[in-house]
A and B are shown apart, each in its own frame.
Chain A
Amino acid sequence: MNNILVANEVSKQFGSHIALNKVSLEIPKNSIYGLLGPNGAGKTTLIRIINQIIYPDHGAIFFDGKPLQAQHISMIGYLPEERGLYKSMKVGEQALYLAQLKGLSKADAKNRLKYWFDRLEIGDWWNKKIQELSKGMAQKIQFIVTVLHEPKLLIFDEPFSGFDPINANLIKDEILQLRDKGTTIIFSTHRMESVEELCEYIALVHKSEKILDGKLSDIKKAYRNNIYKVGLGIQSANGLLEDLKDKFEILSSEYVDDGLQLNFTVQLPSDDTGPFLSHLSGKANVNNFMETIPSANDIFIRTVQSK
């Protein structure tokens, strides 16, 4: 079984509002999976169903090959979008409580908390109350209690909203290390660019439906559009641009460096760049030549528009 989580035609309706419409997903083990889509697309609903906070009207979820059950709660770590901690409770006590709710024994939880507190260098916070900590400090605690019970599946809903940049980086690194240790991670966000670089797999959700999913590199390959960015070193505006415009589809162009460099984007008919490059050779110096790879956001917009 290579998928840690499989969703099979999951539907959920709130009153007259359809939150999820037959959404199917396969989340491979030991991967970072991006659940992407605009606000209100149904991501949080799906995540809440995975966390058994709410239940689907139709369809089924399988965790590690078995239908999702109450006992799976202790194998999932969840950092919700709406997150916080008890303000007037002490840090250590609170972390212990939340860890025990996830099924850890008190002694176990204590040892692991010690490890994490040392690791993030916050050991002396144990007896402080949350209200005495800064927001960034509280975020570290929040992260620790999410991963403390060493879940097989970690779910982060809008993980970097509210985290300051330093903590965001720190947590990014920790997440990558967890992935290397075998944890599967789901990122859910509407800011697609924020997690794109981390994700191996993505699913795009729009208006309660999944519109696209798969390996990010495959998707990008499929959505290649053979557009290239080119920078040419030239002596003067000697009619080269006009010549190129005759032969190729130039999308945009500009002269920079006092007319010594011509930058343009070109739409090639196929992914064979040979004819284009050989046409240039001898005419100008190719300073840079780069394929423009569509971002998840571009892909999303194109997919939505093509529907």
Chain B
Amino acid sequence: MGKLSLIIKREYLAKVRNKSFVVMTFLSPILMVGMVVLIVYLTKINDNEIRTIGILNESNYFSTDFQGTESTSYVKFKDIGLEAAKDSIQKMGFYGLLYIPNEQDLEQVASRSFFYSKDAPGSSLLDNLEDVFEDRLRLQRLQELGVSVSDFESVGNNFEIKTATFTGEQNLKGITEIKAFIGGAFGYLIMMFIIIYGGFVMRSVIEEKTTRIIEVIISSVKPFQLMLGKIIGTSLAGVTQFAIWIISAFVMFGVLILVFDIDPSALNSGATNAPGLIGGAAYVAASDSAMQLYANELFRIPWIMLICFFVIYFVLGYLIYSSIYAAIGAAVDNETDTQQFIFPIILPLMLAIYVGFFSVFNNPHGPIAVGFSLFPLTSPIVMLMRLPGGIGEGGVPIWEVVVSILLLIITFIGIVWLAAKIYRVGILMYGKKPSYRDLLKWLKY
């Protein structure tokens, strides 16, 4: 067995046998599900609280407009002054008081109405109250204009402009965002993987330094072999972990479907069936056919091409960053000294994610998006966000993909070469915290 594969095997086993790794691997999915359940549960509790609101209505309007809902109930006060009403609200522990004064017409009544409460009221509650006023006012104004309610509703107010490419393919509104989101998920995955497993590589290097085994090992193998073996072994452990997570996610999804008897197809249609207040039926029909188009469009995303590029960008990006992590680990004696070096690594990763989410989503082929998808330290993330739009016509120009991969490969070779140099010198240095100037000096050794 070659020395490199021996090292890879040891690093892999050392990682996957580590107790905290095992615990993380099996606990994380449970924790994730637990979090979701907890959040849903807490939201429900929050919603379940019924608020009681007192209404002191001195006007001739709104006598029947305020109807209790699941979360709110109304209590009407009569023949009692405003101050007395406020007092009794507080005494009875009600949430607040809606005061509607007696004025000449509806407009004035509405504009002089007040909501009193102990704390500043939540926005959803205010929205509900305002909706009642708005509906009433709209009705009044329509009547003044002589338009019947049914006429108004039949007019509708829903309009979407249809778009197409020059070749006549129909574009769908929002599909760019959806595609970028899929790419964003890939990019985000890369970033998380780099930060988590780059950190593992770094800690593993520091461990070899602090246990002083490093010199024993590099008297048998070349430092570069050790560094490479460490990076590969650790990332294989990472891939194992991700694979377990993905499989367990599918298993859990399956269990959920079986246990709660959810119809998977209902999940999709349910989400779109939030009918607008006005013109419901037509809109639903329209969105159903749009849904079909979206589904078609999603199927048309070149998944195989996307996964191939994901692998390319992932491998190159990960190797670049993890060899920097390895060099940092070699340069320092303990983890607390790593902070000053880690920040500059995290920076381009964060930048890539933010540029991706803000700039690529808006304009996947704008200058910022193009620039960052060519720059090697950000291209693995940003380019992946652009790629779901396809390559070539209507998508990312072929030359951009080629150039970005070429730049990435050149950077990969350069960075690994530099990192290996720092690594080689650093692992034999004990006792002092190096500065950036020291690192530069090491390159010349």
A residues with CB within 8 A of B: 14-15, 48, 51-53, 73, 76, 78-80, 82-89, 97-98, 100-102, 142, 145
Interface code B218-258, partner A: CB below 8 Å = 1, 0 otherwise?
11110100000000000000000000000000000000000
Residue of A nearest to B221 (CB): A101
Residue of A nearest to B213 (CB): A84
B residues with CB within 8 A of A: 1, 3, 6-7, 10, 14, 18, 207-208, 211-221, 223, 428, 430, 441, 444-445
Contacts of B3 in A (CB 8 A): 101
Q: In the bound complex, how far is the Cα of B442 from the Cα of A14, in angstroms?
A: 8
Residue of B nearest to A15 (CB): B441
Q: Is the CB–CB distance between A84 and B220 below 8 Å?
A: no
Q: In the bound complex, how far is the Cα of B92 from the Cα of A91, in angstroms?
A: 73
Q: Is the CB–CB distance between A98 and B216 below 8 Å?
A: yes
Q: Is the CB–CB distance between A97 and B213 below 8 Å?
A: no
Q: A88-B14, A97-B10, A101-B6 are in contact. Are A51 and B212 (CB under 8 A)?
A: no
Q: Is the CB–CB distance between A53 and B216 below 8 Å?
A: no
Q: In the bound complex, how far is the Cα of B120 from the Cα of A104, in angstroms?
A: 76
User: How far apart are A73's CB and chain B's nearest CB, in angstroms?
Assistant: 6
User: How far apart are B426's CB and chain A's nearest CB, in angstroms?
Assistant: 13
Q: List 17 A-B contacts (CB under 8 A).
A: A15-B441, A15-B444, A15-B445, A51-B219, A52-B219, A53-B218, A53-B428, A78-B215, A80-B215, A82-B212, A82-B430, A84-B212, A85-B213, A86-B207, A86-B213, A98-B216, A101-B217
Contacts of A100 in B (CB 8 A): 1, 6
User: How far apart are A70's CB and chain B's nearest CB, in angstroms?
Assistant: 8
Residue of B nearest to A16 (CB): B441
Contacts of B214 in A (CB 8 A): 82
User: How far apart are A87's CB and chain B's nearest CB, in angstroms?
Assistant: 6
Contacts of B211 in A (CB 8 A): 84-87
Contacts of A85 in B (CB 8 A): 211, 213, 216
User: How far apart are B161's CB and chain A's nearest CB, in angstroms?
Assistant: 63
User: How far apart are A44's CB and chain B's nearest CB, in angstroms?
Assistant: 9
Q: In the bound complex, how far is the Cα of B105 from the Cα of A48, in angstroms?
A: 97
Q: A97-B6, A101-B3 are in contact. Are A80 and B445 (CB under 8 A)?
A: no
A-B complex: 10 closest residue pairs judged by Cβ atoms: A84-B212, A101-B220, A80-B215, A84-B211, A78-B219, A51-B219, A82-B212, A84-B213, A102-B220, A15-B441
User: How far apart are B87's CB and chain A's nearest CB, in angstroms?
Assistant: 69
User: How far apart are A74's CB and chain B's nearest CB, in angstroms?
Assistant: 8
Contacts of A78 in B (CB 8 A): 215-216, 219
Q: A15-B444, A82-B212, A100-B6 are in contact. Are A73 and B14 (CB under 8 A)?
A: no
Contacts of B444 in A (CB 8 A): 15
Q: Is the CB–CB distance between B6 and A80 below 8 Å?
A: no
Q: In the bound complex, how far is the Cα of B427 from the Cα of A84, in angstroms?
A: 14
Q: In the bound complex, how far is the Cα of B430 from the Cα of A87, in angstroms?
A: 19
Q: In the bound complex, how far is the Cα of B216 from the Cα of A142, in angstroms?
A: 9
Q: In the bound complex, how far is the Cα of B430 from the Cα of A80, in angstroms?
A: 14
Q: Which of A53, A86, A98, A145 contacts B215 (CB 8 A)?
A: A53
Contacts of A88 in B (CB 8 A): 14, 18
Residue of B nearest to A73 (CB): B220
Q: A88-B14, A97-B6 are in contact. Are A83 and B212 (CB under 8 A)?
A: yes
Q: Is the CB–CB distance between A98 and B212 below 8 Å?
A: no
Q: Which of A52, A76, A89 contacts B14 (CB 8 A)?
A: A89
Contacts of B6 in A (CB 8 A): 97, 100-101
Q: In the bound complex, how far is the Cα of B214 from the Cα of A97, in angstroms?
A: 14
Contacts of B212 in A (CB 8 A): 80, 82-84
Residue of A nearest to B3 (CB): A101
Q: Is the CB–CB distance between B215 and A82 below 8 Å?
A: yes
User: How far apart are B375's CB and chain A's nearest CB, in angstroms?
Assistant: 33
Q: A15-B441, A87-B211 are in contact. Are A98 and B217 (CB under 8 A)?
A: yes
Residue of A nearest to B225 (CB): A101
Contacts of A53 in B (CB 8 A): 215, 218-219, 223, 428
Q: Is the CB–CB distance between B445 and A83 below 8 Å?
A: no
User: How far apart are A187's CB and chain B's nearest CB, in angstroms?
Assistant: 16
Q: Is the CB–CB distance between A83 and B216 below 8 Å?
A: yes
Q: Which of A14, A84, A102 contacts B445 (CB 8 A)?
A: A14
Among B3, B214, B220, B223, the most chain A Cβ lie within 10 Å of the Cβ of B220
Contacts of A86 in B (CB 8 A): 14, 207-208, 211, 213
| Besides A53-B428, A84-B216, 8 other A-B contacts (C-beta < 8 A) | A15-B444, A73-B220, A78-B215, A83-B215, A84-B211, A85-B211, A87-B207, A98-B216
